[in-house]
Amino acid sequence: MTDFQPARLSGIARPANVGAMLDEICEHFVEHSDVVYKDGIATLKSEEWTIDIATVNDHLAIEISTDGDEALAATRTMFAEHLFYFAGDEPFSLEWSKPAPKVRPPGFVEATVVAAHDVTPRMRRVTLSLADVSPFIGGNMHVRLLVPPKGRAPVWPNLQENGRIGWPEGEDELVVRVYTIRSVDAEAKQVFIDILQHPAERVATPGADFARDTVPGEQVALMGPGGGGLPEAENIFFAGDESALPAIARMVEEAPAGVTMKAIIEVENAAEEQLLQGNGLLEVEWLHRSSYAPDGRPHLVDRVKAALETVGNDTFVWFAAEKADVRTIKRHLADRKRDRKQQYIAWYWEKGQ
Ligand SMILES: Cc1cc2nc3c(=O)[nH]c(=O)nc-3n(C[C@H](O)[C@H](O)[C@H](O)COP(=O)(O)OP(=O)(O)OC[C@H]3O[C@@H](n4cnc5c(N)ncnc54)[C@H](O)[C@@H]3O)c2cc1C
């Protein structure tokens, strides 16, 4: 039975610089929640959770409240992962009033590969069978895909006391990559993930290789879903490259009638275009990288900047692509003082990383 009783948890975080970390938390979470920040006290509020953070001498006192224990565990892990990410290489510790139990991370589910095929020459669709696909229908779209080393029995992650995920190491190390659940077949209990076969010179591409080489019966796992879904807006401007294409295609499918959408999508060439279908009104502009001038211009960012000139403030702006391109667009939108609640701007991959 699902427990919808209010649940609370307190924690103490000790970063190297308390003020700097609180600034970073507020700066980051403003795009995911309502943030009220004054005199060293911050409240972050989303539909699923409230997180109060107060500066107390050398530490941050944290209070998480949610509807039920399941959401509390998921929020703790989400927040703990963020805090350690913000701390980077600096000393950092995190303790909770109740340490996290040593169990599988929230949202962890085992899956079996059913099939894999090419949707276009460079986009490969992997079909996974799950015991329960209901968490993946609607709402949040993104998952972490966990692939164990070939020929070894999987060793899956457990939670650490501080709420972070404890990943298997050494010979049991997993390939972990973030993807989008492109669609769900509730009846067949299957989910579909579209994985780009991106050309990378002289470097390994474990996520892409998994999609290329997988065979039916291979055991993998998913963690999620998270990271948001279709924006609640009547007008949406989508833009991105192939890594964003599965998300854009899914949101177009999920958008109800009456929603007006414009999408600018950069792919290698015409063979990589996909049919985007839904009940809303959609205009798609495909950009072909293979047709760019030798200096690579004008490219996605140039085109998106130009298009944004005619995008009104009532339009939700959704952009995902390579990190540097995303930073450029983020700065561009900030210069125009657009409402950050009316945008989702995220980098999906990083050149050379
Ligand atoms: C929220 C989110 C959702 C995502 N959804 C999808 C999705 O549905 N489908 C999908 O294919 N990807 C998606 N991505 C992007 C995907 O996670 C990355 O492309 C990932 O790096 C691929 O892992 P890899 O092992 O193939 O390559 P890596 O080992 O990560 O990288 C190897 C090399 O390839 C380069 N590289 C990585 N990705 C790309 C790319 N897209 N184009 C060109 N070069 C690249 C890197 O710069 C590096 O040099 C998503 C990312 C995020 C954050």
Question: Residue 117's domain is classified under what CATH number?
Answer: 2.40.30.10
Domain presence at residue 62: yes
Q: Is the CB of 177 under 6 A from ligand 1?
A: yes
Residue 91 sits in the same domain as residue 113: no
Name the strand (E) or helix (H) holding 163: none
pTM: 0.94
Domain presence at residue 313: yes
Closest protein CA for atom 52 of ligand 1? 348
Residue 179 sits in the same domain as residue 250: no
Backbone angles phi, psi at 221, to 5 degrees: -145, 160
Task: Choose which residue among 344, 349, 350 to substitute to test ligand 1 binding: the one with the highest number of ligand atoms within 8 A of its C-beta.
Answer: 349
Nearest Cα to Cα of residue 131 among 14, 219, 230: 219
Q: Is the CB of 203 under 6 A from ligand 1?
A: yes
Residue 89 sits in a domain of what CATH number?
3.30.310.50
Between the two ends of the chain, the Cα-to-Cα distance in Å is 43
Name the strand (E) or helix (H) holding 198: none
Q: Is the CB of 198 under 6 A from ligand 1?
A: yes
* pLDDT at residue 1, as a whole number: 46
Residue 222 sits in the same domain as residue 266: no
Largest interatomic CA distance in the chain? 60
Closest protein CA for atom 5 of ligand 1? 179
Residue entry with tokens 């792919």 = 267
Q: In sequence order, what are the residues at sequence separation of 6 or more whose Cβ sits closer than 8 angstroms to the Cβ of residue 165?
A: 77, 81, 105, 157, 158, 159, 223
Sheet containing strand 59-67, edge to edge, reads: 34-38, 41-45, 49-56, 59-67, 6-15, 92-96
Q: Is the CB of 142 under 6 A from ligand 1?
A: yes
Per-residue pLDDT of the chain (353 residues; tens, 9 = 90+): 454 578 999 999 999 999 999 999 999 998 788 999 998 899 999 988 999 999 999 999 999 999 999 999 999 999 999 999 999 999 999 999 999 999 999 999 999 999 999 999 999 999 999 999 999 999 999 999 999 999 899 999 999 999 999 999 999 999 999 999 999 999 999 999 999 999 777 788 999 999 999 999 999 999 999 988 999 999 999 999 999 999 999 999 999 999 999 999 999 999 999 999 999 999 999 999 999 988 888 799 999 999 999 999 899 999 999 999 999 999 999 999 898 889 999 999 999 87
Cα-to-centroid distance, 244 and ligand 1 (Å): 10
* pLDDT at residue 4, as a whole number: 58
Determine contact, residues 248/278, Cβ cutoff 8 Å: no
Backbone angles phi, psi at 25, to 5 degrees: -60, -50
In angstroms, the CA 214 to CA 207 distance is: 11
Cα-to-centroid distance, 177 and ligand 1 (Å): 8
Q: Is the CB of 353 under 6 A from ligand 1?
A: yes
Residue 288 sits in the same domain as residue 343: yes
Determine contact, residues 21/86, Cβ cutoff 8 Å: yes
Could you tell me the sign of the dihedral formed by the alpha carbons of 153, 177, 122, 246, in that order?
Answer: positive
Backbone angles phi, psi at 265, to 5 degrees: -125, 130
Nearest Cα to Cα of residue 121 among 194, 203, 214: 194
Task: Choose which residue among 272, 348, 350, 351 to substitute to test ligand 1 binding: the one with the highest number of ligand atoms within 8 A of its C-beta.
Answer: 348
Residue 126 sits in the same domain as residue 209: yes
Q: Which atom of ligand 1 is nearest to the CA of 351?
A: 47
Cα-to-centroid distance, 234 and ligand 1 (Å): 30
Nearest Cα to Cα of residue 60 among 101, 108, 25: 25
In angstroms, the CA 287 to CA 285 distance is: 7
Residue 134 sits in the same domain as residue 82: no
Burial of 98 by CB count in 10 Å (0-12 exposed, 13-18 middle, 19+ buried)?
exposed
Q: Is the CB of 340 under 6 A from ligand 1?
A: no
Q: Is the CB of 227 under 6 A from ligand 1?
A: yes
In angstroms, the CA 275 to CA 318 distance is: 19
Q: Is the CB of 351 under 6 A from ligand 1?
A: yes
Domain presence at residue 103: no
Q: In sequence order, what are the residues at sequence separation of 6 or more whose Cβ sits closer than 8 angstroms to the Cβ of residue 3?
A: 68, 69, 70
The residue segments making up the domain with residue 33 are 7-96
In angstroms, the CA 45 to CA 230 distance is: 19
Q: Is the CB of 118 under 6 A from ligand 1?
A: no
Closest protein CA for atom 44 of ligand 1? 198
Residue 220 sits in the same domain as residue 171: yes
Residue 245 sits in the same domain as residue 220: no
Cα-to-centroid distance, 284 and ligand 1 (Å): 23
In angstroms, the CA 81 to CA 33 distance is: 17
Q: Is the CB of 178 under 6 A from ligand 1?
A: yes
Residue 260 sits in the same domain as residue 286: yes
Our count of domains for the chain comes to 3
Closest protein CA for atom 51 of ligand 1? 348
* pLDDT at residue 277, as a whole number: 96
* pLDDT at residue 332, as a whole number: 96
Q: Is the CB of 228 under 6 A from ligand 1?
A: no
* pLDDT at residue 3, as a whole number: 47
Residue 291 sits in a domain of what CATH number?
3.40.50.80
Domain presence at residue 140: yes
Could you tell me the sign of the dihedral formed by the alpha carbons of 213, 216, 221, 224, in that order?
Answer: positive
Nearest Cα to Cα of residue 282 among 267, 298, 263, 309: 263
Closest protein CA for atom 27 of ligand 1? 205
